């Protein structure tokens, strides 16, 4: 039985917690920064687990064709509302919406770009999902993959003094529904992608500084300076390895 996490029943909370904050705004901006240069003209994009449609709206507004998929009906309702409320509603013609689990997507042949952001960490078998993606993607297809970074999560919990939590393998007795169930090591994911046959094109950290700020009010009051700093260092070691999320562009 599939035990992947689905956001039905908490879609409003999800949207507010993720995209109604500086962390969501910053994550989206940095993902767009890295992904955009790797998009072909008039791309045909499959977005897996696209949630409330923020990335889909961005890509569609650039003229790309997008199939937005998510396992949750509730978040796709929010995506449709986002599209309808946009000042540039004409991009809606570039979008097809499907309620679908990643594992149930069989035909990848129409797509030259696959976007899978913040999905793996919610799956029961994330590495199995990566293998499936490789097997079903056609040669030459670009994959934009981001995921919650296990190593950055451990580092952050050490800073917060959560030593008992770390000692228990960072597994809470009661899983909070907005906390990713399986953070992944960036190095291990990179190694696994290469073992499958993917070529690594680009890698970057997402929120290498934001989540560690001692004065959290600066996340908003100094947002522009923070964004500039993230953009300057998020592709450089050692800072990229501290990104709360890790982002890679790979090609089959």
pLDDT in tens, 135-186: 999 999 999 999 999 999 999 999 999 999 899 888 765 554 556 778 999 9
Sequential pLDDT tens for the chain (252 residues): 355 555 444 445 555 556 678 999 999 999 999 999 999 999 999 999 998 999 999 999 999 999 999 998 988 999 998 888 876 778 889 999 999 999 999 999 999 999 999 999 999 999 999 999 999 999 999 999 999 999 999 999 999 999 998 998 887 655 545 567 789 999 999 999 999 999 999 999 999 999 999 999 999 999 999 999 999 999 999 999 999 999 999 999
What does the mean pLDDT of the chain come to? 90
Q: SS3 breakdown of the chain: % helix, strand, coil, rounded to 5?
A: 45, 20, 35
Chain-centroid distance of CA 80 in Å reads 19
- For the domain bounded by 11-251, which CATH number is listed? 3.40.50.150
Q: How far apart are CA 149 and CA 185, in angstroms?
A: 6
Question: Which residue numbers belong to the known binding site for S-adenosyl-L-methionine?
Answer: 27, 49-50, 70, 117
CA dihedral defined by 75, 81, 87, 89, rounded to 10 degrees? 90
For the chain, the structural domain boundaries read 11-251
The total of other beta-carbon atoms located within 10 Å of residue 80's CB is 15
Question: Which residue numbers belong to the known binding site?
Answer: 27, 49-50, 70, 117
Q: Which residue in the block uniquely carries the two structure tokens 């978040």?
A: 75
> pTM surpassing 0.85?
yes
- Asked if the peptide bond before residue 238 counts as cis, ω within 30 degrees of 0, the response is yes
Contact 24, 18 (CB under 8 A): yes
């Amino acid at each position: 039985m599939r035990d992947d996490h689905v956001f039905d029943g908490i879609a409003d909370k999800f949207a507010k917690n993720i995209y109604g904050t500086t962390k969501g705004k910053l994550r989206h901006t940095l993902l767009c920064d890295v992904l955009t240069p790797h998009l072909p003209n008039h791309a045909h994009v499959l977005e897996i687990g696209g949630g409330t449609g923020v990335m889909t709206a961005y890509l569609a507004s650039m003229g790309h064709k997008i199939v937005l998929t998510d396992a949750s009906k509730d978040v796709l309702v929010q995506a449709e509302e986002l599209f309808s409320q946009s000042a540039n509603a004409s991009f809606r013609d570039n979008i097809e919406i499907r309620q679908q689990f990643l594992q149930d997507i069989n035909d990848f042949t129409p797509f030259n770009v696959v976007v899978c952001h913040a999905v793996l960490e919610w799956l029961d078998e994330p590495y199995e999902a990566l293998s499936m993606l490789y097997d079903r993607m056609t040669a030459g297809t670009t994959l934009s993959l981001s995921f919650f970074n296990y190593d950055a999560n451990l580092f952050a919990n050490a800073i917060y003094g959560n030593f008992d939590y770390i000692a228990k393998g960072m597994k809470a007795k009661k899983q909070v529904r907005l906390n990713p169930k399986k953070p992944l090591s960036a190095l291990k994911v990179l190694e696994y992608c290469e073992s499958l046959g993917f070529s690594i094109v680009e890698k970057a950290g997402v929120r290498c500084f934001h989540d560690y700020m001692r004065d959290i009010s600066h996340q908003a009051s100094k947002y522009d300076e923070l964004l500039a700093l993230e953009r300057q260092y998020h592709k450089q070691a050692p800072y990229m390895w501290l990104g709360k999320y890790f982002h890679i562009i790979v090609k089959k």
